[in-house]
Amino acid sequence: MQGEETVNDLYNRALELVNAGKTVEALKAYKDILGKHTTTPSLRSMIYNDTGSILYSLGDTVNGEDFIKQAIFTDFFNAVAYRNLLKINSGKMKRQHKFSVVISTYNRKTFLKSCIESIRRNSFFPVEILVVCDPCKDGTEDYLLGESGKGDLIAIMNDKHIGVIESTNKGLL
């Protein structure tokens, strides 16, 4: 087993092959790194993603997608692999799928605002945010009414305080 610096050099050489259009040689170089060297999860994930992207571009869509999924499994923080998988799957989708996030709130405008901004900023896939709000005195309701015009947030206002469990259930329906 060689050191991390040597493995990084091998990876950089493989990238040079990709950039030179020598995809078959690059695939062999990636395979050699994966088979003969110890790598960090982050580097292994990048190699899986690169391999998957090459295979996909060469028409081997099944193996290409499998490698990209392996990249995500190896390193959940590999944003490039998530974007590649989204790009691959968006061509398969007949309609735009969404993840739904249900939030129940009561007088927590500052925290709710941070939460919603974080969801929007960090979501790789289209998200539908459902916020169920018990009557508030801190401006939460006005904030939600303003945010609901952005198209990804649905505000559900309760007439009375019903609590977290009932509010969450109401958002799920």
**pLDDT class for 97, splitting at 50, 70, 90?**
low
Average pLDDT, the chain: 85
Please check the confidence at residue 29 and state whether its pLDDT lies above 80.
yes
Task: Please give the torsion angle defined by the CA atoms of residues 17, 34, 40 and 55, in that order, rounded to the nearest 10 degrees.
Answer: 60
In this prediction, residue 11 carries a pLDDT of: 93
Instruction: Classify residue 154 by its DSSP letter.
Output: E
Up-side HSE of residue 96: CA atoms within 13 Å toward CB?
A: 7
What gap in Å lies between CA 90 and CA 160, rounded to an integer? 41
User: pLDDT digits over 129-147, tens only?
Assistant: 899 888 888 888 889 888 8
In this prediction, residue 122 carries a pLDDT of: 85
